[in-house]
């Protein structure tokens, strides 16, 4: 086995230049002689007449030459390739936990203490960037869902604030980023008076309904957030506009809700159902033709619920009018 190690024979042999013979005619246009690439001068010239057909090529190879593998290692000034898979493209340092130097020798007391300090900071930077990545992904998710639900910017802001707090309070371990992000958005939507039902939220989230509800409760409790039950009235504009109903319907519906609230008949009932029933009742009162099914569809509430609620609403609201 005396075969020469070809990969270290000369520096020029390591060029990654594409094979020129494939790209260009290898024949000189003048004398039909062979065209040869001269790496020394960065030129492609005719062997016979010397015509230079291409010059100033960039030499991408190393400027040094190595004659054995050891020399190659010593002269090379580049490290591992970078990768997009890692958030820092693999460029950050990592400090080993062992108190040994590169040769495996134990460290002196002084150096060991120094390494401990460095390790602390290394860990701090690393976990900080881990949170950054986490946040980035969560905010992207919040944005996506908010768009799908037609929620305005302020609501998204609120959602991201809630998420940030959850992250700071270390609420994430044990739950999915998406779950918490969804819960944050749900809470934000309600706080900003642009509530979306759990059904609507879960329709655009990758997390299932029950999980969202659970995480939502958890986040609320841990953050000490006070979110009042959604006001049925805040659903009215959306429903009436989805059904292309005149503004008078919305007004009547709101009056009915107010009256019912004053009587206390609304407590314990689902806000969505109340809103849907109010819209239906309101439409009835202003002679708009609207079926229970239509309202039920846009509100995702059963017709039965609408029937029950709207009768109560009329009972509470009609005598007062």
Partner DNA sequence: ATGGTTTTTACTGCGTC
Partner DNA sequence: GACGCGGTAAAAACCAT
- Give 273 or 317: the residue with its C-beta nearer to DNA: 273
- Give, as one character, the DSSP assignment of residue 30: T
- Give 45 or 243: the residue with its C-beta nearer to DNA: 243
Question: Cβ 293 to DNA, closest distance in Å?
Answer: 6
Task: Of 178, 193, 192, 106, give the one whose Cα is nearest residue 145.
Answer: 178
- Give 198 or 223: the residue with its C-beta nearer to DNA: 198
List, edge to edge, every strand of the sheet that includes 52-54: 35-38, 43-46, 52-54
Question: Cβ 180 to DNA, closest distance in Å?
Answer: 18
- Residue 238 tokens read as 């959306």
- Give 134 or 248: the residue with its C-beta nearer to DNA: 248
Binding site for DNA (CB under 7 A): 198, 209-210, 213, 268-270, 273, 290-293, 300-305, 307-309, 311
- Give 160 or 197: the residue with its C-beta nearer to DNA: 197
Q: Which of helix, strand or coil describes residue 114?
A: helix
Question: Cβ 170 to DNA, closest distance in Å?
Answer: 25
Question: Cβ 156 to DNA, closest distance in Å?
Answer: 24
Question: Cβ 110 to DNA, closest distance in Å?
Answer: 57
**Could you write out the DSSP letters of every residue in 232-281?**
GGGGHHHHHHHTT--HHHHHHHHHHHHHHHHHTTTTTS-HHHHHHHHHHH
The CA distances from residue 177 to 58, 112, 146, 244, 261, in Å, are: 47, 37, 16, 37, 38
Other CB atoms within 10 A of residue 2 CB: 3
Q: Which of helix, strand or coil describes residue 111?
A: helix
């Amino acid at each position: 086995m005396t075969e020469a190690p070809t990969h270290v024979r000369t520096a020029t042999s390591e060029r990654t230049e594409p094979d020129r013979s494939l790209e260009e005619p290898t024949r000189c246009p003048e004398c039909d002689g062979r065209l040869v690439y001269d790496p020394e001068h960065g030129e492609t010239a005719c062997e016979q007449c010397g015509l230079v057909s291409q010059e100033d090529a960039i030499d991408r190879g190393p400027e040094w030459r190595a004659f054995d593998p050891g020399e190659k290692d010593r002269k090379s000034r580049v490290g591992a390739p970078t990768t997009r898979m890692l958030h820092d493209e693999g460029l950050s340092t990592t400090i080993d936990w062992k108190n040994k130097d590169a040769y495996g020798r134990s460290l002196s007391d002084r150096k060991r203490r120094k390494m401990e300090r460095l390790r602390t900071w290394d860990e701090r930077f690393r976990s900080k960037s881990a949170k950054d990545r986490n946040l980035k992904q969560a905010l992207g998710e919040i944005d996506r869902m908010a768009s799908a639900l037609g929620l305005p910017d302020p609501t998204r802001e609120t959602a991201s604030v809630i998420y940030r707090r959850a992250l700071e309070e270390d609420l994430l371990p044990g739950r999915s980023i998406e779950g918490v992000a969804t819960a944050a958005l749900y809470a934000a939507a309600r706080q900003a008076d642009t509530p979306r039902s759990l059904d609507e939220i879960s329709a655009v989230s990758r997390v299932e309904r029950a999980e969202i509800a659970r995480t939502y409760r958890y986040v609320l409790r841990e953050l000490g957030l006070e979110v009042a039950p959604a006001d049925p009235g805040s659903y009215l504009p959306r429903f009436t506009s989805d059904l292309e109903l005149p503004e008078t319907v919305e007004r009547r519906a709101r009056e009915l809700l107010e009256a019912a609230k004053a009587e206390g008949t609304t407590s314990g009932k689902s806000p969505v159902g109340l809103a849907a029933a109010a819209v239906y009742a309101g439409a009835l009162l202003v002679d708009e033709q609207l079926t229970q099914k239509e309202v039920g569809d846009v509100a995702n509430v059963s017709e039965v619920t609408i029937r029950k609620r709207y009768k109560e609403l009329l009972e509470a609201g009609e005598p007062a009018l």
